[in-house]
């Protein structure tokens, strides 16, 4: 398939020729649907799903991607670009690497080729099924004059080249009011959108060009290629003094940025900026930075722990991690939310809210005073850290509370924490705190936690249970687990509410909140139980059990035969090496079996399951799931919901279960079972067996000798290359054999059947069927009821079966039997054999020297052109030879009584009555003629041919000859 996307020219006020072209019958009509009102607001998942699947389905195609694994390599060739084009293309590729983990490696023979020698900007891809074979990208170097939009264009076109569509069913001239697919379709959601932030009236965002893929793009590309685990995995700084080389990570002014970060203790640093920042550290929320609105967002699965802002009046929202937030100058507002946060308002009269968890409010200088702390709670474990403040004022005492350096002063609705001086300084107003509260409980002059007892001495099958106290009383001694006695050991963090990043390997430390946890050399922990936050857990070489608990977790089995349990939340699990079991639990999960013979269970929610290498078993569970096999003999079961199942190499079994499912075979001899619902089944290479089950199904064979069974419902079945077997089952079906020598059974119902190319065997079954043999020497049977059969090209054998059938032999030397019923038969060209069968039939020989037998019933027979042999058969038949030298045959006395409309004596036509002599006194027709046993009697304008078989005067009427007079001489020239 070749798809072209001609990108929009920003100098136009209306989008121009942005059309899609296709070589695989994808629709090319891209007008809108008049949907200005009542548009749905899409979730990020819905927008991402439209980018990967919905767009292509709207165009009549299917999801597509390069056949590479998570973190795989795609080769690129940028030699066709000038210097600026090369640099910009590399920046755009780096933007996609940052969110997908894909490695783009330059090569002269590449999977993705760039050029700038055509006008405009577009991408095109050659595909085979769901696999992209190669992609081409062209961006005219004249677009370098468009400034920042030049990079955005490259990011957009590379998105197409990797498998993303647009965010709506548009591809050419488009306006939001007419062509938008969902209410929040804009550049703020996806770089694949046609609509900038200002063109969408539903989006509260400034118009800025994009320097990265956006949140829906990030989720979409990870849906196609997996989620990288090493993206910015260290302690990353975004903004001032960034430690990344990727363009845009310094958070420049006037650009739209989305951040994806796998791990580490990360910071957004806007300390040098003077604008009023609104910064939200929660994933999938928008922030307003550098004086713009809605121009920064944090992608799903990303946790930014720390933030710094500058001299503006800033509004900062923390997340559930242990945040360290420093607001700088200005009258700022900080909301810490969950976790043990450290909040520093900086200079200005700030409003600080710690949220849940024991928070620290820090003061560094006297200029930091004048704040309001809205929810200070000793019960929650809140403290005010004045250690740096005391150092800044040169405090030389030992107890600033006892000597009155800090004290509480009553206020309305709370108390002021005061710093004695000349004059005294109001540090913070503590809402709801009485002035009689112990100041020693409120302030920390040094933050030095006491030692926690060392964990118990290890024993076989030891359970190491840690709680939130680990972060409060952490020190270098209690931060290590050492266990060398073997056994099945468990690290139990199920009661921890902070975000945990735990590695059971000994070479890297983990984290509980912001505190590190080490596992000593020689220690093997087999099991890991995580808590309620969005945790990350890594196994080791042992057979691990990792339970994510609540929250949206990421679990990595690594080596060994592991069991990964997602629990509640939108989880991701990666089996790694070994024969693993992955259970997503509730909500929307992504499971990757990777190496080994794995078992993947989606459970509740809309799940994505990727088997990886090996013979895998996958079960989608409830709701609408997507299951992808890889190499190996895999078994995929969709379960409830409208599921998508894709086989790959190996002999796979795909069972859609309940719902309207889509099943795609891969290479190998696959079995596809649609189950209940209106299902879509497509074969591929190999001898596939596809059984649709109940519902109105669509089945498409692939290469190989396939078996297609529609089951109950009104089904559509199409064969392909190979000798296929198609069975429609009950109800009104449509069956097409396509290439190969196919066997087609319509089953019950009024079916439409076409054998297409090849020597096919077709049985219409019960019902009023329409059957077309098409090219090849076909065998066709209409079965019960009133059928329509057409042989078309080839030497066909056609049996109408019971019922009043209509049959056309068409081209080729055909053998046709009408069967029971009052049939209409037209033999067609060439020398055909026609038998009307029982019933009052209408038979037309058409061209060619035909043999036509009316058989039982009162038939009407027309030989058509050619020298035909016509047998009326039992009953009183009406016979017409038409053009050509025809012969009319009477096989027995039961055949007499016919009318011949155009018998021509003297032109070579004959009446064959030799069979009537059986039982007579005559040995030959000549003897009977000589003896006068045959004679003509006047009958209207013609005559009746009579025969006295025994000379006794008991003559029978053989036939009426409407063109022969009674005085015509009977000779052996025409009566034989």
Which residues are catalytically annotated? Answer: 157
Dihedral of CA atoms 796, 802, 807, 812 in degrees, nearest 10, equals 10
User: In this structure, are strands 956-961 and 942-947 parallel, antiparallel, or unpaired?
Assistant: antiparallel
User: In this structure, are strands 406-411 and 414-419 parallel, antiparallel, or unpaired?
Assistant: antiparallel
Write out the two tokens for 138: 């062209």
Pick from 543, 516, 609, 545: nearest CA to 571: 609
What is the rounded distance in angstroms from the CA atom of residue 92 to the CA atom of residue 4? Answer: 19
- The helix-helix angle for 83-100 and 215-225 (nearest 10°) equals 70
Write out the two tokens for 260: 């994806």
Pick from 446, 445, 449, 412: nearest CA to 430: 412
Bridge-partner residues for 112, per DSSP?
76, 135
Pick from 729, 738, 737, 799: nearest CA to 766: 729
Alpha helices, DSSP H only, in 445-508?
469-472
At 56, which helix (H) or strand (E)?
Answer: helix 55-58
- Say which DSSP state 744 is in: E
List, in sequence order, every beta strand (DSSP E) within 525-652: 527-529, 536-538, 545-547, 554-556, 563-565, 572-574, 581-583, 590-592, 599-601, 608-610, 617-619, 626-628, 635-637, 644-646
- Say which DSSP state 916 is in: G
Q: What is the 3-state secondary structure (H, E, C) of 219-242?
A: HHHHHHHCCCCCCCCCCCEEECCC
CB 655 within 8 A of CB 669: no
At 155, which helix (H) or strand (E)?
Answer: helix 149-162
CA atoms within 13 A of residue 35's CA, in its CB half-sphere: 18
| Angle at alpha carbon of residue 560, lines to 556 and 565, rounded to 5° | 45
For residues 487-505, one letter each, b for 16 or more C-beta atoms within 10 angstroms of the residue's C-beta and e for the rest, the string is: eebbbbbbebbbbbbbbbb
The sign of the torsion formed by the CA atoms of 896, 899, 900, 906 equals positive
Residue with tokens 């396509």: 738
What is the rounded distance in angstroms from the CA atom of residue 353 to the CA atom of residue 336? Answer: 6
At 268, which helix (H) or strand (E)?
Answer: strand 267-270
Write out the two tokens for 534: 């969005």
CB 15 within 8 A of CB 8: yes
CB 556 within 8 A of CB 563: no
CA atoms within 13 A of residue 335's CA, in its CB half-sphere: 11
Residue with tokens 């900080």: 334
List, in sequence order, every beta strand (DSSP E) within 318-405: 324-326, 333-335, 342-344, 351-353, 360-362, 371-373, 383-385
What is the rounded distance in angstroms from the CA atom of residue 313 to the CA atom of residue 333? Answer: 8
User: Roughly how many angstroms between the first and final C-alpha of the chain, as a whole number?
Assistant: 67
Write out the two tokens for 163: 């498998």
What is the rounded distance in angstroms from the CA atom of residue 581 to the CA atom of residue 800? Answer: 56
Write out the two tokens for 595: 């190496």
Question: Coil, helix or strand for 57?
Answer: helix
Bridge-partner residues for 592, per DSSP?
574, 610
Pick from 650, 626, 651: nearest CA to 638: 626
């Amino acid at each position: 398939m070749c798809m072209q996307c001609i990108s929009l020219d920003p100098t136009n006020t209306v989008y121009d020729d942005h059309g899609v072209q296709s070589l695989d019958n994808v629709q090319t009509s891209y007008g809108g649907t008049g949907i200005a009102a009542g548009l749905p607001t899409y979730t990020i998942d819905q927008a991402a799903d439209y980018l990967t699947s919905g767009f292509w389905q709207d165009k009549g195609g299917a999801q597509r991607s390069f056949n590479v694994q998570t973190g795989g390599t795609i080769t690129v060739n940028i030699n066709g670009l000038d210097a600026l084009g090369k640099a910009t293309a590399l920046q755009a590729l780096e933007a996609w690497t940052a969110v997908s983990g894909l490695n783009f490696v330059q090569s002269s023979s590449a999977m993705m080729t760039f050029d700038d020698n055509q006008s405009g900007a577009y991408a095109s891809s050659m595909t085979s099924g769901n696999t992209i074979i190669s992609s081409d990208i062209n961006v005219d170097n004249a677009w370098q004059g468009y400034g920042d939009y030049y990079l955005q264009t490259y990011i957009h076109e590379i998105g197409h080249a990797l498998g993303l569509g647009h965010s709506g069913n548009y591809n050419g001239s488009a306006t939001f009011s007419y062509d938008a697919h969902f209410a929040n379709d804009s550049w703020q959601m996806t770089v694949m959108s046609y609509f900038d932030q200002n063109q969408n009236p539903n989006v509260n965002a400034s118009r800025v060009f994009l320097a990265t893929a956006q949140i829906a793009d990030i989720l979409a590309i990870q849906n196609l290629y997996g989620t990288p685990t090493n993206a910015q995995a260290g302690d990353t700084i975004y903004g001032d003094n960034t430690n990344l080389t990727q363009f845009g990570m310094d958070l420049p002014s006037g650009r739209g940025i989305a951040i994806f970060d796998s791990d580490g203790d990360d910071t957004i640093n806007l300390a040098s900026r003077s604008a009023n920042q609104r910064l939200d550290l929660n994933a999938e929320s928008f922030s307003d930075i550098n004086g713009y609105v809605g121009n920064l967002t944090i992608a799903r699965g990303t946790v930014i722990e720390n933030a710094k802002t500058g001299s503006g009046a800033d509004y900062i929202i923390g997340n559930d991690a242990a945040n360290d937030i420093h607001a700088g100058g200005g009258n700022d507002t900080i909301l810490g939310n969950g976790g043990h946060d450290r909040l520093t308002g900086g200079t200005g009269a700030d409003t600080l809210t710690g949220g849940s968890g024991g928070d620290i409010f820090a003061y560094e200088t006297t200029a930091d005073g004048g704040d309001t702390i809205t929810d200070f709670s000793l019960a929650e474990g809140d403290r005010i850290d004045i250690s740096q403040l005391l150092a800044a004022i040169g405090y030389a005492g030992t107890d600033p509370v006892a000597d009155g350096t800090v004290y509480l002063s009553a206020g309305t609705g709370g108390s002021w924490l005061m710093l004695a001086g000349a004059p005294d300084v109001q540090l913070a107003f503590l809402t709801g705190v009485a002035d009689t509260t112990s100041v020693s409980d409120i302030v920390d002059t040094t933050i030095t936690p006491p030692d926690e007892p060392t964990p118990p001495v290890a024993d076989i099958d030891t359970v190491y249970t840690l709680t939130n106290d680990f972060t409060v009383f952490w020190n270098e001694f209690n931060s290590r687990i050492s266990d060398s006695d073997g056994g099945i050991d468990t690290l139990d963090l199920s009661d921890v509410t902070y975000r945990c990043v735990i590695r059971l390997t000994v070479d890297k430390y983990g984290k509980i909140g912001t505190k590190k946890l080490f596992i000593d050399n020689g220690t093997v922990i087999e099991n890991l139980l995580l808590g309620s936050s969005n945790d990350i857990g890594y196994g080791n070489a042992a057979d691990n059990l990792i339970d994510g608990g609540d929250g949206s977790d990421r679990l990595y089995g690594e080596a060994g035969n592991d069991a990964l349990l997602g629990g509640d939340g939108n989880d991701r699990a990666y089996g790694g090496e070994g024969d693993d079991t992955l259970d997503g639990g509730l909500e929307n999960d992504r499971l990757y079996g990777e190496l080994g013979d794995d078992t993947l269970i989606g459970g509740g929610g809309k799940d994505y399951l990727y088997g990886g290498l090996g013979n895998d078993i996958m079960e989608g569970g409830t709701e609408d799931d997507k299951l992808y096999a890889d190499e190996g003999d895999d078994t995929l079961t969709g379960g409830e919901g409208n599921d998508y199942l894709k086989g790959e190499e190996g002999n796979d079994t795909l069972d859609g279960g309940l719902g309207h499912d889509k099943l795609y075979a891969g290479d190998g001899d696959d079995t596809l079972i649609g189950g209940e619902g209106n299902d879509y089944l497509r074969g591929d290479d190999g001898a596939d067996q596809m059984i649709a089950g109940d519902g109105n199904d669509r089945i498409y064979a692939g290469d190989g000798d396939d078996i297609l069974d529609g089951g109950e419902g009104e089904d559509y079945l199409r064969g392909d290359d190979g000798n296929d077997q198609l069975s429609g089952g009950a109800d009104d079906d449509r069956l097409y054999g396509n290439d190969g020598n196919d066997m087609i059974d319509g089953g019950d119902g009024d079916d439409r059947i076409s054998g297409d190319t090849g020597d096919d065997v077709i049985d219409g079954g019960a019902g009023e069927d329409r059957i077309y043999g098409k090219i090849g020497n076909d065998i066709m049977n209409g079965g019960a009821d009133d059928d329509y059969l057409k042989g078309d090209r080839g030497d066909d054998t056609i049996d109408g079966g019971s019922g009043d059938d209509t049959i056309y032999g068409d081209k080729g030397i055909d053998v046709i039997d009408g069967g029971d019923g009052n049939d209409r038969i037209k033999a067609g060209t060439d020398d055909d054999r026609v038998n009307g069968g029982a019933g009052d039939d209408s038979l037309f020989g058409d061209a060619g020297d035909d043999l036509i037998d009316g058989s039982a019933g009162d038939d009407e027979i027309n030989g058509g052109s050619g020298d035909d042999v016509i047998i009326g058969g039992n009953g009183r038949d009406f016979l017409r030879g038409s053009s050509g030298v025809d012969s009319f045959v009477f096989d027995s006395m039961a055949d007499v009584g016919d009318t011949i409309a155009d018998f021509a004596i003297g032109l070579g036509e004959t009446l064959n009555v030799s069979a009537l002599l059986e039982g007579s006194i005559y040995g030959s027709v000549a003897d009977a003629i000589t003896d006068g046993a045959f004679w003509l009697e006047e009958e209207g304008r013609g005559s009746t041919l009579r025969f006295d078989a025994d000379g006794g005067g008991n003559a029978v009427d053989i036939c009426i000859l409407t063109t022969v007079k009674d005085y015509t001489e009977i000779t052996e020239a025409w009566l034989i």
